[in-house]
Amino acid sequence: MTKTSAGNFFEDFRLGQTIRHPTPRTLTAGDVALYTGLFGSRFAVQSSSAFAKAIGYRDAPIDDLLVFHVVFGKSVPDISRNAVANLGYAGGQFLAPVYPGDTLTAVSEVIGLKENSSRKTGVVYVRTRGIKQDGTPVLEYVRWVMVQKRDPAAAPPADHVPRLPTAVDVKLLGAGCPALNVRAYDFDLAGSPYRFAGYQAGEKIDHVAGITVEEAEHQIATRLYQNTAQIHFDQFSAAQSRFNRRLIYGGHAISLARALSFNGLANAFHIAAINGGRHVAPLFAGMTVFAWSEVLAVSELPGRDDVGALRLRTVATKDRPCPDFPYKDGDEYDPAVILDLDYWALIPR
Amino acid sequence: MTKTSAGNFFEDFRLGQTIRHPTPRTLTAGDVALYTGLFGSRFAVQSSSAFAKAIGYRDAPIDDLLVFHVVFGKSVPDISRNAVANLGYAGGQFLAPVYPGDTLTAVSEVIGLKENSSRKTGVVYVRTRGIKQDGTPVLEYVRWVMVQKRDPAAAPPADHVPRLPTAVDVKLLGAGCPALNVRAYDFDLAGSPYRFAGYQAGEKIDHVAGITVEEAEHQIATRLYQNTAQIHFDQFSAAQSRFNRRLIYGGHAISLARALSFNGLANAFHIAAINGGRHVAPLFAGMTVFAWSEVLAVSELPGRDDVGALRLRTVATKDRPCPDFPYKDGDEYDPAVILDLDYWALIPR
Amino acid sequence: MTKTSAGNFFEDFRLGQTIRHPTPRTLTAGDVALYTGLFGSRFAVQSSSAFAKAIGYRDAPIDDLLVFHVVFGKSVPDISRNAVANLGYAGGQFLAPVYPGDTLTAVSEVIGLKENSSRKTGVVYVRTRGIKQDGTPVLEYVRWVMVQKRDPAAAPPADHVPRLPTAVDVKLLGAGCPALNVRAYDFDLAGSPYRFAGYQAGEKIDHVAGITVEEAEHQIATRLYQNTAQIHFDQFSAAQSRFNRRLIYGGHAISLARALSFNGLANAFHIAAINGGRHVAPLFAGMTVFAWSEVLAVSELPGRDDVGALRLRTVATKDRPCPDFPYKDGDEYDPAVILDLDYWALIPR
């Protein structure tokens, strides 16, 4: 009897199944520093405890995406160890600020299953929640992944494809952001004069700069999240795969694009929700990531006059600057596009 | 008169000599985060302060191997700057938990000396102790290294080869682990249902996954320990050496193997002792490390019913998965083996 | 109207202009650990809070150069985004210790402007100050950079070249160092017996060791400082530049040279002032940095008997050990030299 886990295969999942994921994780100022070193993010609220406290946070909150990656990482050994592809995200909500010293755990519920026609794989839909040491939920999101079957002949579960929202309702966006004293928000120090009212639906913003990714960087990042997906770390096995090399964790491109988006969105300091996301093409070490964003919508938040919400589509590319906003030609993505992310960010009014 | 140290040569050591090593080092949450990013370790006790406190630690203790590497690193400028090879370890004991905020210093005693027949080198045996700011010893171990002579004609000291234990006595294993409340140890969250009673001598475990090492990673790790051995950092000089490239610090393979061993040994959370260890072959950047373990023995701890001890041999390989447990063919190591480590780990009963 | 900043061009600056730079930054134990991992510095005061407290610091102060890089990094988006070259430094003074938890902001004043004869570029002189959350200045320095003009036909400002000191006055050197209890300074633990009185003007010290730089390392370092200069990160664009590759941030060589200088200057624990500095030649990944220092002068500090000052020239080279102290042949630098740094360091008496 082996004590090593080979992870779950498609036929191991059951609708309604709940999985508590191993390895609780205390996030600290150390994680924050390493995240800064890996992505160079410059949003003032997360960068400065003095700035964050002045506007109403208890301390500088931990970057929303670092929280996302840590929660996601916990789910990997149970959910996507045998994944062929990470197909999409929906309904992501950031529910409470996370501070250094908080310990996170994660739980997933299987909310959908559908075998593919090949019978070799199936799609698993899970809703994953990240929870603090005191039981406070800090994040939830749905993702769906294509998972291998151990045995193609195994009887599949009945198909069930969940209905997923195309966007998170604006009524749900404020939970992760305390009431802010916007008069104490120093726009000079934050790096831009543009507030909520300065953005309009349809506006496109080129984030200008590019960042090249090295193998050591994405490996350190992904291990920091305790994400165990082998394809990110094991060049010996990757050399025999279709790409011949390690595949960079999709979340790495999200964090790079978010850090680049500071130039144009400096005050959109908090990711409140992830409406949807797609890793359009793989990213490999040595490539340079660029990004641009479109404001899909702007919305006030019910009952709040401190912050408003921008619905943003941030598109990341590889080895392709974005002054002309590359995206799709009909239904086909531009070949340089690697990420298509739809999210709500909060910004002072 | 030069102010730069060239390190000690074989003829500079004297039996019984005590050396206080420079550079005291305060370990922090920053070191813990960087260690996690470099190795991706997932043992719950070290990863979560909430988990650690629930079972009886004051806080999440710092990974035993991080403590080992920092203490080892201090000894390098004095002991092994002019080493040809790091030959072995024995009698390693972890004597007290180390927490963020603790400051470590190190002292070594020369316990053996033996000139080699070539007269160009000799073997130096030292017992090195790591000590906290309040004087508490946290670690001691013996290592022996082959050190160059400055002058082959120099008169050697009298030979003295110390008797070393083949394994640390089980009576000495509990010092680094406080009395635990095992009922509060959440096995689901820790990632495995297997406790002390679930392991048997002779059992072999393939840890399955592999991790590729990059130059930046091992350099960052080894500098974090303030280990100054030039062969790990200086490609200009290494290019003229027999390997033509930088040699990775042997401790890097130990930490990778330990992190990989989580898959199969998730509850063996504390390294109590290092019985012996051998760096069988060099590791270079670009190679992928795999590992497997054999349970050499199981033992209760006198006077304790919270934890038991597993004596483990963990073998690491390069570019060679381990489903068939590669080790030795007669006296010859399998050519893929890089590390043969014999240690005691504690695990809840 | 674009919301992304393209940075300032030469004709955008005005004499006397003051610029508050964005992104306040709280420095933590996480930054300290990552800095140690990147450079391997071993000065006892910065490495050990126990050591630092024993001699009179509130805690282990953050490495002076980490403070410098963070303050410098803030000025990049406003001052040197469109720089062709970073020409020099003068009048750098460290004014107060910085501890984990302190938040830094930066302000620059334009103190000189001079168009070049090509009319395509001009030299901008700025005095940049780093300031703590409570208003305490921690650092100031002058640097001058050659900046592109947006439009060569644009009318230049009147030339004004500021008078700059060739060295910081010794009366100004003690501000960043509290009164020390030198009897509590443990020279064994610090790694060298040499105090102030042990050094003499004219003395040259080879720091012996070399460190090879990897792309991931300098990128992580420079992002840690939130320095956004594209040439350090964007290989896609760099491939089309004259060097075909990313240029390493000049400050990286300064930190490497300083860390190497421990061997020979172990007790020169605090950089009090930067008299001048020149990045003589570019550094690229894969190269190995060596360093040597000359003691240019020694000086007591008025009113203090705890510490004295060494004026040092530290020279860094690439792929060239320094036993023969390579520097200049007449006015020409040795082709291996990359850095010529003139600074004051404090050392116990």
- Nearest Cα of chain A lies from the Cα of C104 at a distance, in angstroms, of 8
pLDDT digits (tens, 9 = 90+) for C96-106: 999 999 999 99
Alpha-carbon distance of B285 to B211, in angstroms, equals 11
A44 closest CB neighbour out of C23, C29, C133: C23
CB–CB of B5 and C263 under 8 A? yes
- C214: closest chain B residue by CA: B216
A249-308 pLDDT, tens digit per residue, is 999 999 999 999 999 999 999 999 999 999 999 999 999 999 999 999 999 999 999 999
Q: For residue A224, what is the nearest residue in chain B, using CA coordinates?
A: B37
Q: What is the pLDDT of residues C226-241, one digit of tens each?
A: 999 999 999 999 999 9
Nearest CA in chain C to A29: C30
Q: Where are the alpha helices (DSSP H) in A225-280?
A: 235-238, 250-260, 262-265
- Chain A interface, best mutation among B27, B28, B42, B294, by max A CB count within 10 A: B42
Classify strands B270-279 and A121-132 as parallel, antiparallel or unpaired.
Answer: unpaired
How much is the average pLDDT of C125-148?
97
Question: Interhelix angle for A215-224 vs A64-75, to 10°?
Answer: 80
Nearest to B289 by CA among B278, B301, B281: B281
- Give the closest-approach CA distance of A72 to chain C in angstroms: 23
Taking each helix axis from N to C terminus, what angle separates A64-75 and A250-260, rounded to the nearest 10 degrees? Answer: 180
Q: What percent of chain B has pLDDT over 70?
A: 100
| Predicted pLDDT of residue C2 | 81
Distance, in Å, from the CA atom of C83 to the CA atom of C241, rounded to the nearest integer, reads 14
User: If we measure between CA atoms, which residue out of A137, A152, A130 comes closest to residue A72?
Assistant: A130
Chain B hits for A25, CB-CB cut-off 8 Å, are 47-48
Cβ distance B288 to A105 less than 8 Å, yes or no, reads no
Helical spans, DSSP H, in chain B: 29-39, 44-47, 49-55, 64-75, 187-190, 215-224, 235-238, 250-260, 262-265
Asked whether the beta carbons of C247 and C281 are under 8 A apart, the reply is no
A275-286: pLDDT as tens digits: 999 999 999 999
Burial of C153 from C-beta contacts in 10 A (0-12 / 13-18 / 19+): exposed
User: Quick check: A230 and B215 CB within 8 A?
Assistant: no
Distance CA(A211)–CA(A318), nearest Å, equals 10
Q: What is the pLDDT of residue A301?
A: 97
Choose, out of C27, C219, C245, the residue to mutate when testing the contact with A (most A CBs < 10 Å). Answer: C219
Pairwise CB contact (< 8 Å): B216 & A221: no
Q: Which of B66, B200, B203, B208 to mutate to test the interface with A (most CBs of A within 10 A)?
A: B208
User: Side-chain half-sphere of B11: how many Cα atoms within 13 Å?
Assistant: 10
HEC states along B164-186?
Answer: CCCCCCHHHCCCCCCCCCHHHCC
Q: Which two tokens stand for residue B64?
A: 């035993």
Give which of B136, C180, C21, B333 is closest to A186, Cα–Cα: C21
The whole-number average pLDDT for the span C276-303 is 97
A264·C3 Cβ contact <8 A: yes
CA-based torsion, C92, C96, C101, C104: positive or negative: negative
H or E element: which one contains C338? strand C337-348
pLDDT in tens, B22-63: 999 999 999 999 999 999 999 999 999 999 999 999 999 999
Nearest CB to C105; choose among A189, A192, A263? A189
- The per-residue pLDDT for range B148-181, each reduced to its tens digit, is 999 999 998 889 999 999 999 999 999 999 999 9
Place of tokens 């906003």: A325
CA distance B78 to B89: 17
Could you tell me what percent of chain C has a pLDDT over 70? 100
**Tens digit of each residue's pLDDT (9 = 90 or more) over B263-278:** 999 999 999 999 999 9
Say what the pLDDT of residue B84 is. Answer: 85
Cβ contacts of A219 on chain B, cutoff 8 Å: 211-212, 214, 217
The mean per-residue pLDDT over the stretch B341-348 comes to 98
Q: How far is C283 from chain B (nearest CA, A)?
A: 14
Question: Which of B2, B225, B236 best probes binding to C when mutated, by most C CB atoms within 10 angstroms?
Answer: B236
- Interface contact A224-B37, CB threshold 8 A: yes
Amino acid at B159: D
| Tokens read off for B107 | 């002292």
| Chain B residues with beta carbon closer than 8 angstroms to that of A20 | 188-189
Option in A25, A30, A228 nearest B209 (CB): A228
Residue A171 class from Cβ within 10 Å (0-12 exposed, 13-18 middle, 19+ buried)?
exposed
DSSP lists the bridge partners of residue C292 as: C206, C315
ipTM: 0.97
Q: Using the beta-carbon criterion (under 8 Å), do C207 and B4 form an inter-chain contact?
A: yes
| Across B288-296, average pLDDT | 98
Chain C: nearest CA to A66, how far in angstroms?
15
CA A225 to chain centre: 12
User: What size, in residues, is chain B?
Assistant: 349
- Sequence-distant (6+) residues with CB within 8 A of A169 are none
Nearest to B216 among C44, C216, C288 (CB): C216
User: Which chain A residue has the Cα nearest residue C31?
Assistant: A33
Instruction: Specify whether the CB–CB gap between A267 and A60 falls below 8 A.
Output: no
Which positions in chain B touch A234 (Cβ < 8 Å)?
Answer: 209-212, 288
Q: How confident is the model at residue C1 (pLDDT cuts 50, 70, 90)?
A: low
Size of interface A-C (CB pairs under 8 A): 138
Give B110-156 pLDDT, tens digit per residue: 999 999 999 999 999 999 999 999 999 999 999 999 999 999 999 98
- Give yes or no for residue C329 having a pLDDT over 80: yes
Mutation target to probe the B interface, by most B beta carbons within 10 A, among A108, A133, A236 is: A236
Contact call for C103 and A194, based on CB within 8 A = no
Residues in A closer than 8 angstroms to B215, CB to CB, are: 216
User: How many degrees, rounded to 5, is the angle at CA B44 between CA B40 and CA B45?
Assistant: 115
The pLDDT-based confidence of B1 (bands split at 50, 70, 90) is low
Cross-strand bridge partners of residue B121 = B148
b or e along B281-304 (b: 16 or more beta carbons within 10 Å of the residue's beta carbon)?
Answer: bbbbbebbbbbbbbbbebbebeeb
- Confidence bin at A7 (pLDDT 50/70/90): confident
Region C310-315 average pLDDT: 98
Q: How confident is the model at residue A81 (pLDDT cuts 50, 70, 90)?
A: confident
Task: Check whether B2 has a pLDDT greater than 90.
Answer: no
B-C C-beta contacts closer than 8 Å:
139
User: Which residue on chain C is closest to A261 by alpha carbon?
Assistant: C4
Say whether B233 and C211 touch across the interface (CB within 8 A): yes
Using a CB-CB distance cutoff of 8 angstroms, which residues of chain B are in contact with residue C255?
Answer: none
Q: How far is CA B27 from the centre of its chain?
A: 17
Distance CA B29, CA A31 (A): 8
Find chains touching chain C: ≥3 CB pairs under 8 Å.
A, B
Mean pLDDT of B214-237: 97
Q: Shortest CA distance to C250 belongs to which of C165, C119, C145? A: C145
* Cross-chain Cβ contact B4/C48 below 8 Å: no
Q: Are the beta carbons of C23 and A210 separated by less than 8 Å?
A: no
Q: What is the DSSP string of C219-243?
A: HHHHHHTT---GGGT-HHHHTTSTT
Percent of chain B beyond pLDDT 90? 95
